[in-house]
Amino acid sequence: MSALLLGFDLPALLLGVAAALIVTLVLKSWGQTPANLPPFPGRRVPIFGHLLVLGSEAREKLLEIRKTTGDIFSMYFGGTLIIVLSGLDVLKEALVKQGDVFVDRPVGGFSRTLKIQNGIIGTSGSIWKENRFATFHILKGFGLGKDVMSQKIVEEINLYLKYLEGLSGEATNVQDITTCAASNVTCKIVFGKRFEYDDTKFIGLLLSLNEYMTLIGGGNFHTLFPFVKYLPGDLSKTKRLVQLDREISGEMRHFIKEIREQERDGLASSNLVTSYIERMEEKQKSAEHTELSLYHLDRIAFDLFVGGTETSSTTLLWFYLYMIHFPDIQEKVYEEIVREIGTDRCPTGQDKVGLPYTNAVIYETQRLASISPLGVIHRCNKETTIAGYTIPKDVPIITHLDAVMRDDKIWGDANVFDQRDF
């Protein structure tokens, strides 16, 4: 009514805005393409770019594209130019030899959709450097890469096995239990606490995390067209993704608040949160410029919780699945463990050297499962060249890890579990 009183025709206004948006997207999608880029796979369509080339089976399609374009190719996702690095040599050149050039994260896209401007994974430059250094320094203090960390893992494994024994051999979906166990190792270090396997509130948080990761991995429509979160409905699940991000972030802030309250009462245990705050306050007291802040700590806790939960538990579940399908390999793993360690104690980090077959089976699980087929999106912080092609400054880079994990030239028949004796 107010729109009519002001002389506006609201439907016409909305239609005009939509038309202007479409025109803008068309013009953007047909903007000037930089010279000497890696080849494009197929025809570029207005608004969608090369999305229609990928279709619904994007993972398999990317592998097919590599066969015709080579180890490096360009694509337009909507109006955004993206370069895909696929081959082992190309990835080594970018991530190892030119690692300092490809270290940054895209400014827009996923981070813009979720409004991520803090933490480690979604930041670049001085914010990323100082927070990453501080986080890894603290984690090393807690035994990262040392046998101290193995002891923390063993403690959780013993509780995990005890819980499984209590099921008395009943058929059980172990996904929730396994995810909780994997997450507890991270939670113990980051928050100084663990959760029981039947803690319904924590299981609910893990289920939200699982849905969150599914939506991130299920498509990038929300990344390419962030305006869809303002449209009616939620066909792209962008609004749901934003909601889950806020819910999980809220729980991280709640955990940090609890720790700070315990610290004031002298009850806080040693954990990453307290160590980070101590480091931050020391720099603030000395009037030293610092990028450490509670604002960044919130997202660092989020990043570590997600990373320490999802990848570990998913790898374990794939390992279980493969061992069920390959009982002969399972038997060889068991025989090696019994021969080298026995049955009276749990393995430690020091036992890794004596378990070459077991390690090989774990690595093969990680290769074939390929749980992060596209890795994390990178960004060039300056113009460079790879394989004779120009990589423009600020262009998003997809590291196509799947192409390496499933390369027949490297692995033979890369789509089957390697059952050799390694």
How, if at all, do strands 396-399 and 378-379 pair? Answer: antiparallel
Query: 171 in a domain, yes or no?
Result: yes
> Using one digit for the tens of pLDDT, what is the confidence trace for 290-345?
999 999 999 999 999 998 898 899 999 999 999 999 999 999 999 999 999 998 88
What does pTM read for this prediction?
A: 0.83
Residue 238 confidence (pLDDT)? 79
Neighbours of 9 (CB within 10 A): 11
How, if at all, do strands 384-386 and 389-391 pair? Answer: antiparallel
Residue 8 confidence (pLDDT)? 39
Please, are residues 83 and 395 in contact by the beta-carbon 8 Å criterion? Answer: yes
Q: Residue 342, SS3?
A: coil
Query: 212 in a domain, yes or no?
Result: yes
Query: 145 in a domain, yes or no?
Result: yes
Residue 382 has pLDDT above 60, yes or no: yes
> Using one digit for the tens of pLDDT, what is the confidence trace for 261-304?
888 777 667 899 999 999 999 999 998 899 999 999 999 999 99
Query: 70 in a domain, yes or no?
Result: no
Share of the chain above pLDDT 70, in %: 84
Using the 8-state DSSP alphabet, how is residue 231 labeled? S
Residue 4 has pLDDT above 60, yes or no: no
Query: 32 in a domain, yes or no?
Result: no
113-127, 188-202, 247-261, 290-304: least confident range: 113-127
Whole-angstrom Cα distance, residue 74 to residue 254?
43
Pick 256 or 421 by higher pLDDT. 256
Whole-angstrom Cα distance, residue 305 to residue 252?
9
The arithmetic mean of pLDDT across residues 25-37, rounded, is 63
* Structure tokens given for 221: 């429509």
How, if at all, do strands 72-77 and 378-379 pair? Answer: unpaired
SS3 content of the chain, % helix, strand, coil (to 5): 60, 5, 35
Backbone phi and psi for residue 172, each to the nearest 5 degrees, phi listed first: -140, 140
125: left (phi over 0), alpha (psi -120 to 50) or beta: left
- Closest listed residue to residue 399, CA positions, set 421, 417, 380: 380
Residue 408 confidence (pLDDT)? 93
Please, are residues 390 and 417 in contact by the beta-carbon 8 Å criterion? Answer: no
Residue 214 confidence (pLDDT)? 84
Return the CATH number at 128. 1.10.630.10
- Closest listed residue to residue 73, CA positions, set 102, 96, 42, 100: 42
Whole-angstrom Cα distance, residue 299 to residue 122?
9
Average pLDDT of the chain, as a whole number: 84
Q: Which residues pair with 85 in a beta bridge?
A: 72, 399
Whole-angstrom Cα distance, residue 66 to residue 41?
9
* Structure tokens given for 62: 């990317």
Whole-angstrom Cα distance, residue 401 to residue 367?
10
Whole-angstrom Cα distance, residue 127 to residue 130?
6
Q: Residue 398, SS3?
A: strand
Query: 201 in a domain, yes or no?
Result: yes
* Structure tokens given for 363: 């690595």
Residue 17 has pLDDT above 80, yes or no: no
* Structure tokens given for 346: 């749990």
Angle at which helices 147-165 and 175-190 pack, to 10 degrees?
150
- Closest listed residue to residue 317, CA positions, set 248, 374, 366, 372: 366
Residue 99 confidence (pLDDT)? 92
Complete DSSP assignment for 43-76: PPBTTTBTHHHH-S-HHHHHHHHHHHH-SEEEEE
For residue 66, give the amino acid letter: R
> Using one digit for the tens of pLDDT, what is the confidence trace for 122-163?
788 888 899 999 999 998 888 776 767 888 888 999 999 999
For residue 225, give the amino acid letter: F
Query: 42 in a domain, yes or no?
Result: no
Residue 5 confidence (pLDDT)? 35
Residue 115 confidence (pLDDT)? 61
Residue 31 has pLDDT above 70, yes or no: no
Residue 80 confidence (pLDDT)? 82
Residue 26 has pLDDT above 80, yes or no: no
- Burial (CB < 10 A; 0-12, 13-18, 19+), residue 77, is buried
Residue 320 confidence (pLDDT)? 95
For residue 26, give the amino acid letter: V
Residue 422 has pLDDT above 70, yes or no: no
The arithmetic mean of pLDDT across residues 407-419, rounded, is 90
Share of the chain above pLDDT 90, in %: 52
Query: 361 in a domain, yes or no?
Result: no
Looking at the 3D structure of the chain, how many domains does it have?
Answer: 1
Q: By residue range, what is the domain housing residue 140? A: 118-300
> Using one digit for the tens of pLDDT, what is the confidence trace for 51-74?
788 877 788 889 999 999 999 999
